Structures are given as C-alpha cells and as structure tokens.
Structure 1
Amino acid sequence: MADRSSDEGSIPDEAWEKFLRDSESGAGRDVPKEPSARARLVAQRLREQDARGEAPAGWRTGPASQELNGRKARRKKAWTVVGVVAAIAVGVVALKPSLLPGDPFGTGESDVAASPLPAETAAPTGAPAEAPPQTPTLDAPFAGSPALRWADGEAGIVLPRATAVGGASKARVEEALKLTRKLLVAANLDPKVLRGERPEAALGVLDPKQPELVDDLNTSLRSPSEKHDPLRMFSRFDPDEVRLVGDVVKTRGRITFEKGKHNGVAVHADYTFVYPVVRADGSTEVTRTIVRRALDVELSDPAHYNATPGRLVVVKYNEEAGNSSCDVHDGYLHPNFPSDAPTSAPPSGPTTDPYDRSKELGADGWEDCGTVSRV
C-alpha cells in the first residue's frame, strides 16, 4: 500500500478549507480523498485561526450536529402541536362531557340528546322504549325520560301542509291551523299561565259567541272545583308550591284537519307536554308532570253561521295528567316527588304509562285516579 502523504500536490489547501467551511452549512457532502497528513495540517491551521478569533464560525460543529439539532427541533415542534390539540380536546370535553360516549362522568346527559325524534305524523304503534335509568337534576331535568328526544316547546307543534278542503280554501285552512297552534301554545307553554296567571291569550282565540264554554272557563279560573276545573284546558302550577326547572317544556304530538260540520275547517290536535319542576322552597329534587291533551276545534264560516271571524269554536276537549294529585281541585297541577311521604289512601286506578301515545286519550283508565309507571 502506497503512502498517501506523498501526494501532497493532489488537493490544494484552499479546497480543504472550503470543504471544512462547507461542512458547517451542509453544502459539502463528499469528503475529498486527501492524505491524513494534509487534513491534520489544515485542521491545525484552523485551530490557530480559531485561537486568534479568525476561524470561520461553526467550523467545529459540522453538518451532523446541525442535522441532529434540526431533528430535535422538529420533534419538539411536533409534540407542541400534539399538546395544543390535546389541551383543546380537554377543554371541549370539560364544557360538554356528554360528547364522550357512554356519559362516563354521570352528567345525566346522553348522546341521544343530539338526535331529536322526527315530527309525529301518525299515532305510534306502542309506548316509547324505556330510557336508561337516570335521576333528573337541575342541569339535566329530562334525564331518564323518553321526552329527552322530544322537541322543545313550540318547536314540537308542527303544522301540516295546508290544502283546500270541502268548501274551505287553502288560506282558510292555514288560518285554522295557526289559530289552533296559538291556542295550544298559549294554554300549555306560556310561562305566565304555567305560573298560575290568567290565560288571556288563550281565551282571546276562542269565539265569544260560544258563551257556555267561555262562561265555564271563566268560572273555573275564578272559583276552581271538581266540576269547574281549568286544568281541562290549561296547564297551571301553584307558584307557592313548585316552579319549573329552566325554560324548556318538552312537546310531542300531531295536528290533522278535515272538512268541518259548519262549512268550515275542523282541526284535531293531540299533544303531550312534559314539565320538569322542583319545590318552591329551594329543594333541588326534580320530578316531572306529564299532561296529554286532545282538542277538537272548528273555524266556522261566518258567512253562513253565527261565528266570529278569526276565532275558534271548541267542539271537544279532554286531558289527562300523569304524576299529579287527582284528589285536589284547586285549579293547579300538584306533582308528586319521590321523597314525598304518602298523605292519603293508595290510588285505586290502574298503573298507566303517561308517555304512551299509541292509545286514544281516556282509553286506559287515567280518569280512575291511578298511578303512573314512570315520570
């Protein structure tokens, strides 16, 4: 093997200095084939320049060290991004724990809350399935109730598409449907009415030329009794006894229409309202009262009948209330709480499901003052 130190003239000193400087910036990749003696000589010269402060900056580090530092910086940046994403995810879950599957923190909410039921267009074939057992709270008053997936308040009263029927035009049908909706909202969802105040808006929809009904309703509001009970038309709670939890009442039902008997439009409404309440004394125990109403009204033709334009004639109305004392006739709903001690003889009627909308109203014996299977 020949001695490579004898080839001193093969690579100039400037080339070696350029190589070492290029190593600092990563530009030089191919190591020149120079005898080790020349390499040591150039390195010695650079060290002497370094001692005098004249050597190129970073000539000792070389590309390997820079690449290593670059990889470390990239890894640090990547972990920083991951950390930020994780922090955002934790914050979102903290604000709404129900986003986690299975409600692991027991918040009382569930994933079904984000998937409301479609509007009811026909009578269901059976009662809704049992919801997972959960205790309702101030933050989740509908936990454990099928009504969790029902619409909120007025949004649950969806009107069908109006079409002309009999001698009534499409416009007349639309008017009848809107008046029926206004009556349902004013009688069952108005916060003032729910607090026991006089239902002026609801009474304003009714035809004053139906004096027997109007007089009976006014009597029931003024002097409620078993015979004259305002609860047959209006949902009312005693504000000294209970208050609503939040401002949401769950609503589900349907409205249909057909040709009326008085050359007008006959409308049938069947709706269930679910009211979450707590005692007015500051207790946090939540319960629910469920009210179902069936209402038949007609918008008569004032050109042929003694009727007031823009007012409804009530043909028939009926109601059933689940989880409310049926032996008190003071014009208010009186919810029963799980912690209540029995104050009277056990109910004599059958046990019924207040969420079952598959049966006709009154067909399952609610009027016999029974008990409810769930609230």
Structure 2
Amino acid sequence: MTDKPSEGSSISDEEWEKFVRDAERDGASAAPKEPSARARMVTERLRRQEARGELPAGWRTGPAWQETNGRSARRRKVWSVLGVLLAVAVAVIALKPSAALSWLPGGSGADPDTPSASPLEGETTRPSGAPADVAGQPTRKQPFAGSPAERWATGADAIELPKAKAVSGVSAARIENALRLTKKFLVAANLDRDVLYGAEPKEALALLDPLSKKYVDRLRAGLRRPTVENDPKWNFTRFDPDEIELVGTEVRVRGRMTVEPGEGKGGRALIRADYTFVYPVAKAGGGEEVTRTIVRRAVQVDVVDPVKYQATEGRIWLLDLSSEIGNDACRQGDGFIHPRFQADLYASPEPSGEVVDPYDRSRGLDGAGTDSECGTLSRT
C-alpha cells in the first residue's frame, strides 16, 4: 500500500501533489468555494479509482484527522476524571461539610479529631492566675481535650534550660552541668515509661549525691516498703500497671527553671525547677473512660563551689522536693498514684477538703507533699 496513486492510475504525480495542496488550502479557508472544472475532473477520477480499489485505505482522513481525534479522546479522558473527582467532592460536602470548608483558604471547618489550638510559648515567670477553662471531654483519640494542657509542650522537650551564667562565685560551667542534671532527674522521675508503670526509678536515684545518705536511704526504704508517711509517689510518678493504663504516648509538661544565689556568703547557687506533668489514663484492660492525673513537682537543687563545699561530681544535691498530685485516691500508702474515675466517685464521695485547681501555676508549692490534706479538684 502507498500514499501515492497506483501505477495504473492516469493521474500524474504533479496532479496528485496539486490536489493535496488545493485540498489543504481549501480546508483551511473559512468560506467554502465553488470547485473548479479541473478540481471536479480530479475528484471524478479519484471517485472511480476508489471504486476500483486503487486508492489506499484511510486516504480521506489522513494523519492530521487522526491526530485531532487523539487529542479529543485525551480531552474526554481528562474530563471523565474531573467528573469523578467532582462527584466525590459533592459526596464529601453532603456527608461532612466541615471537611469541605477546611479545604478553602482560611477555612474554619477543621476536623474535630485534630486539635486546632496553637501551642503556648514557654513559661518564663510565675503566671498571674489560673488558665481559662477549656471545653471538651478527654477521649482515647483526644486525651487532652478539655484541658489547658492541650496547648502545652510534650515530654522532655518541654523542660527548657535557662542560659547558664556564673552565680555567687559558682562558675557558669558548673551551673550549666547542674541544670542539665536537674532536667535529667525530672525526666527520669516523671517521664520514664518504665517508672510510670511502677518500675524502680534507678536512674533518678543514681543522680542523687551519695553524700546526702540519709535522704537517699529514706527514698530507697519507701520504694521497698511504702507507707503513708513515706510514700515514693511524692518523689516519683508511678501508677499500678494492674490498675491503670496510660493513654497514648504523650505527657504534657509546663514549667520553668531558674538560678539564683544560694545561702551563705558565696560559693553557692540555687536551682529552682517547678513543673506540672499531665498524664491521661484509663483503667487497665481497655477501659473507655479517660481521665487525667496532674502532678506538680517543685525541686530545689544546691550547686556549690567545690573549693568551699564538699559535693560529688556528676550528682545533684536535693535541698527540697515539694509535690502536689491532682486526681489521686490519696493516702493509700502503697507507692502508686490511684486516679479516680466516675464510677469511683459514685461509689464514694469526693474529699471535703479545699477546692484546688491543679492547673493553677500561680500558686506557691513550697512545703506541699505528704502532709497535704486530700482536697477537691475543680477540674482534671
């Protein structure tokens, strides 16, 4: 087969090429023209050749028509896909308008399963009052819903160290190391996953200066045989794994760490670390109800010039550790925190002590701990 006339045709090559040029020119013209006598003659010859089967198949359409048809087919395919997408979009709008609104620039229809509150800046000074109430109830998907902690930072990253400077004759390098060890202690005592599930806080204990033997021995004795008077929960956050399940992997944390001159004429500095930890929990075994326990720790660490005072390198000396635990059955004396759920409140009334907001970090905490009365929480 060939695109030229067959050998038996009476049309010359020159006539064929002229016909093609005339056809292309006439096809591009906007207005139809009356065919010339020669064009009619050529057309008649082509008609007879087509009847005898002497012309190639598809000679009327040619490559240009096929290419145009290909582009049209592609356009149809594109519009088919767009039609499907449009149908999906209509279905989404009908079923969940909030999701459709969130696609728009500045749309306010955020998915309710996704917290929309922006995180708070780090705390640098004592707040002037308690944080505002937050609407919502905790669930397994949103364990911090309804809590100011929804906007708090998470885990160890929330414990930010201040810039170390020389204080009261104690070098900046020694202050920096003590700040780092203080953070390490807070993390080991309140964020270590094994400790939260009741394990012995070995790393936290190893950070304490062995020269403070009496204090360290008392902590170890409480861990071995806890009592109401010597309950390790006032120093280490621990839940009974047979009773409590931590919900999710996050613990929200807020607080600050500062350095000031210590007591005496010089050579001593004091680190004050004041942090609140919020733990979402449920009953072990897949309980649906989620509640929260809020633990606040205020730690004072003595940092000394080793030329003037005796201390162990790489350890910290705890001058004081005050605690407040919000949502705990209180005075169990078994070494664990026991969060209370709605069923527990129905079984026994709330304590009748002072009403306390566990999120109110404007209150002082010095001296709180084992002697504190069991109060009533305003929220969890």
Measured against aligned partners, the alpha-carbon deviations of 1:4-27 in whole angstroms (never above 9, x if no partner) come to xxxxxxxx886444332567xx7x
Structure 1 CA distance, aligned partners of 2:200 and 2:86?
Answer: 54
Structure 1 CA distance, aligned partners of 2:377 and 2:336?
Answer: 19
Contact 1:168 1:259 in 2 (8 A): no
Distance of aligned partners of 1:298 and 1:79 in 2 relative to their CA distance in 1, 3 Å threshold:
farther
Distance of aligned partners of 1:61 and 1:268 in 2 relative to their CA distance in 1, 3 Å threshold:
same
Measured against aligned partners, the alpha-carbon deviations of 1:309-328 in whole angstroms (never above 9, x if no partner) come to 22222112111111111242
SS, match of residue 326 in structure 1:
coil
| 2:128 corresponding residue in structure 1 | 125
| 347, 351, 372: which one aligns with 1:347 | 351
| 1:179 corresponding residue in structure 2 | 181
Contact 1:141 1:245 in 2 (8 A): yes
| 2:231 corresponding residue in structure 1 | 229
Contact 1:270 1:292 in 2 (8 A): yes
Written as runs of structure 1 = structure 2, the 5 A alignment for 1:1-375 is: 15-20=18-23, 28-29=28-29, 33-35=33-35, 40-51=40-51, 52-54=53-55, 57-60=58-61, 67=68, 70-71=71-72, 73-77=74-78, 80=81, 101-104=108-111, 106-107=112-113, 109-112=114-117, 115-137=118-140, 139-261=141-263, 263-361=267-365, 367-375=372-380
Structure 2 CA distance, aligned partners of 1:13 and 1:245?
Answer: 85
- Structure 2: gaps spanning 5 or more residues: 1-14, 92-98
Structure 1 CA distance, aligned partners of 2:32 and 2:199?
Answer: 99
| 1:9 corresponding residue in structure 2 | none
Opposite residue 200 of structure 2, the aligned amino acid is: R
Distance of aligned partners of 1:116 and 1:21 in 2 relative to their CA distance in 1, 3 Å threshold:
same
Contact 1:300 1:312 in 2 (8 A): no
Structure 2 CA distance, aligned partners of 1:192 and 1:354?
Answer: 25
Distance of aligned partners of 1:80 and 1:48 in 2 relative to their CA distance in 1, 3 Å threshold:
farther
- Structure 1: gaps spanning 5 or more residues: 1-11, 91-96
Q: Please state how far the C-alpha of 1:69 moved relative to its aligned partner.
A: 6.0
Structure 2 CA distance, aligned partners of 1:197 and 1:364?
Answer: 24
SS, match of residue 164 in structure 1:
coil
Opposite residue 136 of structure 2, the aligned amino acid is: P
Contact 1:293 1:317 in 2 (8 A): yes
Structure 1 CA distance, aligned partners of 2:347 and 2:286?
Answer: 22
SS, match of residue 111 in structure 1:
coil
Structure 1 CA distance, aligned partners of 2:294 and 2:86?
Answer: 44
Measured against aligned partners, the alpha-carbon deviations of 1:214-257 in whole angstroms (never above 9, x if no partner) come to 12212221222222121221111111111212322111111001
SS, match of residue 368 in structure 1:
coil
Percent sequence identity over aligned pairs = 45
Matched residue pairs, number?
351
Structure 2 CA distance, aligned partners of 1:86 and 1:146?
Answer: 41
Contact 1:47 1:55 in 2 (8 A): no
- Per mean C-alpha deviation after superposition, the further-off stretch among 342-351 and 312-321 is 342-351
Distance of aligned partners of 1:42 and 1:144 in 2 relative to their CA distance in 1, 3 Å threshold:
farther
Q: Please state how far the C-alpha of 1:68 moved relative to its aligned partner.
A: 6.8
Contact 2:245 2:285 in 1 (8 A): no
Distance of aligned partners of 1:298 and 1:83 in 2 relative to their CA distance in 1, 3 Å threshold:
farther
Q: Please state how far the C-alpha of 1:267 moved relative to its aligned partner.
A: 0.3
Distance of aligned partners of 1:308 and 1:103 in 2 relative to their CA distance in 1, 3 Å threshold:
same
Q: Please state how far the C-alpha of 1:39 moved relative to its aligned partner.
A: 5.1
Opposite residue 284 of structure 1, the aligned amino acid is: E
